[in-house]
């Protein structure tokens, strides 16, 4: 099971998957020139949503289709520090597609 984590540190935003930096997936779509962000709705939060979904789903088109609702329902509600497992992502995707 993968673990996605985010933290706002003195050195800036850190987002990892299983301890390694999460790829922004700008190859799929560039939504933000400023990297990742969360706790609100906007381009940087949408980039994070896209990256999590693309990593978890392994399907760029499905990730593109779901990233906006995932951003609104999940990423916009993250606290300063957050942790999400692949099971949590799957549950959120099922709710969005249900």
pLDDT score recorded for residue 79: 96
pLDDT score recorded for residue 25: 97
% of the chain exceeding 90 in pLDDT: 98
Strand pairing partners for 15?
Answer: 6
- Parts of the chain with a pLDDT under 70: none
What are the backbone angles phi and psi of residue 35, rounded to the nearest 5°? 80, -150
Going from the C-alpha of 51 to that of each of 10, 42, 57, 67, the distances in angstroms are 23, 14, 10, 9
Strand pairing partners for 4?
Answer: 17, 84
Structure tokens at 80: 């300063």
pLDDT score recorded for residue 55: 98
Q: Give the integer Cα–Cα distance in Å for 15 and 13.
A: 7
Structure tokens at 72: 């609104």
């Amino acid at each position: 099971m993968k673990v996605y984590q985010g933290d706002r540190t003195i050195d800036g935003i850190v987002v990892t998957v299983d301890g390694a930096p999460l790829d922004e997936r700008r190859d799929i779509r560039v939504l933000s020139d400023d990297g990742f962000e969360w706790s609100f709705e906007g381009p940087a939060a949408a980039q994070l949503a896209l990256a999590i979904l693309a990593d978890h789903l392994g399907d760029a088109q499905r990730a593109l289709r779901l990233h906006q609702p995932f951003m609104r329902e999940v990423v916009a509600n993250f606290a300063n520090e957050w942790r999400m497992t692949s099971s949590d992502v799957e549950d959120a995707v099922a709710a969005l597609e249900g």
